[in-house]
Amino acid sequence: MKKSYFGEFGGQFVPELLMPPLIELEEAYEQIVGSTEFKEEFNNILKDYVGRPTPLTFCKNLSKELGFNLWLKREDLAHTGAHKINNTIGQALLTKYMGKKNLVAETGAGQHGVATATAAALLGLKCIVFMGAKDVKRQAPNVKRMELLGAEVRPVYSSTQTLKDAINEALRYWISHQKDTHYCLGSVVGPHPFPSLVRDFQAVIGKEVKQEFLKKNNKLPDHIIACVGGGSNAMGIFYEFIKHKEVKLTGVEAAGTGTPNCYHSATLNKGSLGILHGTKTYLLQTNEGQILPSHSVAPGLDYPGVGPEHAYLKDTKRAEYKSVNDDQALYAFRLLSEKEGIIPALESSHALAWALSLKNKVPSDYNVVVNLSGRGDKDLNIVFGNIE
C-alpha cells in the first residue's frame, strides 16, 4: 500500500503546482509532528488553552430510559465549542515550525474558520478564510467571530457557493501563495498528507476516551458512535480503537430530509467512487462525474465527499456507516437538551440519534460512547426555524 493511500482510497490528485507544497508538508509531518519538542508544545496548548482532556460524561437519565449505558465524549467543552480546535492548533503550530507566517482555510458553517482564526490569533499568524457566499449569509455570527479574532473572511461566489467551492478557492489561493502560507484544511479529506495529518491531531479524542473509560470501568467500551461529514471527529475517536477489534465503530451520516431523491450528505451510504479535492474516495456525483450539491440540517455534515480512511474502514468492514435524517437528529437534539442539560451540535445529534435507535437491541450492561463533537448554541436559528 502506497503511503499516500488507504487501500485504494486517498492519493494526491492535485495540479503539479501544488505538489511542491504538499511534499514540503509531508516532510514536515514526518520530521516535526513526531518530534518531542513539537509534541510537548502541542500537548501544553491542548491542556492549558483548549482545556483538554475533555470529560467523559455518563448520561444518567437517558441511560435509564434507553436500557443501556450511554456516555458522551465532551468535545463541546473544548475551547471554541467543538473538536475542530485540536486540528487547527496542530496545523497552526506546524506552520510556525515550518517558518510560514500565514494560514488560509475554508469553512462551511464557520466552525473550522473560527477554530483556525483562534489558533492564528494565539500563535501570531495571519489568517484568511474562504467561505461560500451562501454560508456567509446563513452563518453571519461566525463571520463576525472570525473577524473579531483578526481573520479576513472572503466570500466565494462560484458554483453552489458552499463548502466545496470554499475548498476550491482555498486550494487556488494556496497555489499562488504557497511560499509563505500553509493551507489549514479542516477535515480528514483532501490530498495526502492531510487525511493522516488531521487524523493524528484529532486522535487525542480516542486516546482520552480509552484512558478515562478504562479508569472508570476497567475495560473498553463496547461501541463508539460518531457523526461523519468529512469525518474528522469520527476518525479522531475511532483511530485509537481500530486495533481493538472487539469495539464496534459506527459512523453516522446525514440522510437529509429523508424523502426519496432529496439532497443529502450520506456519501458512504449512497455515493460512488470518484476523485475530488485531491483524493480518491466516495462522492455524491452524477454518472458523468459532476459533483452533486449536498444537504443536511447540520451545516458541518454538508459535504459531497468523505475522508478516504473512512472509505477504507467501510470497505474493510472495520467500521459500519449508517445514516439518520434531519428529523431524527432534531429529536435527539431536543432530547439531550431536556434530559441531560446538554445542548448538542446538530452534527453530533446525528450520532446521538443512532445511539437512541439501539434501545431494546442491546443488553443492559452495554456501553456506548457517543462523540459529542460540538455544542449546539450555534444551531438555535436552524432548530427553531425547523420546529416552530
Distance in Å, CB of 186 to another protein, minimum: 17
Total Cβ atoms within 10 A of residue 202 = 27
CB-based contacts of 265, cutoff 8 Å, min separation 6:
229, 253, 254, 256, 284, 294, 295, 296, 301, 302, 303, 304
Q: What would the DSSP string read from start to end of 25-68?
A: HHHHHHHTTTSHHHHHHHHHHIIIII-PSPPEEE-HHHHHHHTS
The strand pair at 69-74 and 102-107 is best described as unpaired
Nearer to another protein, 67 or 274 (CB): 274
Residue 83 is among the residues annotated as catalytic for this protein: yes
Distance in Å, CB of 75 to another protein, minimum: 30
Q: What does the binding site for another protein look like in residue numbers (CB under 8 A)? A: 4, 11-17, 19-20, 158-159, 164-165, 168, 171-172, 175-176, 178, 274-278, 283, 285, 287-291
Q: Which of 79, 83, 182, 223 is catalytic?
A: 83
Distance in Å, CB of 176 to another protein, minimum: 4
Q: Cα separation of 360 and 297, whole Å? A: 28
Taking each helix axis as running N to C, give the angle between helix 326-340 and helix 346-356, from 0 to 180 degrees, rounded to the nearest 10: 90
Q: Cα separation of 185 and 230, whole Å? A: 11
Q: Which of 59, 127, 184, 227 is catalytic?
A: 59
Reading the block at residue 70, the C-alpha cell is 450511554
Nearer to another protein, 176 or 218 (CB): 176
Nearer to another protein, 287 or 360 (CB): 287
Burial of residue 189 (number of CB atoms within 10 Å: 0-12, 13-18, 19+)? buried
Distance in Å, CB of 197 to another protein, minimum: 18
Nearer to another protein, 164 or 182 (CB): 164
Q: What would the DSSP string read from start to end of 201-230?
A: HHTHHHHHHHHHHHHHHSS--SEEEEE-SS
Residue 310 is among the residues annotated as catalytic for this protein: no
- Cβ–Cβ < 8 Å for 159, 276: no
Distance in Å, CB of 11 to another protein, minimum: 6
Nearer to another protein, 183 or 239 (CB): 183
Nearer to another protein, 94 or 170 (CB): 170
The strand pair at 272-276 and 181-183 is best described as unpaired
Q: Cα separation of 247 and 337, whole Å? A: 27
Distance in Å, CB of 31 to another protein, minimum: 18
Reading the block at residue 301, the C-alpha cell is 455534515
List the catalytic residues: 59, 83
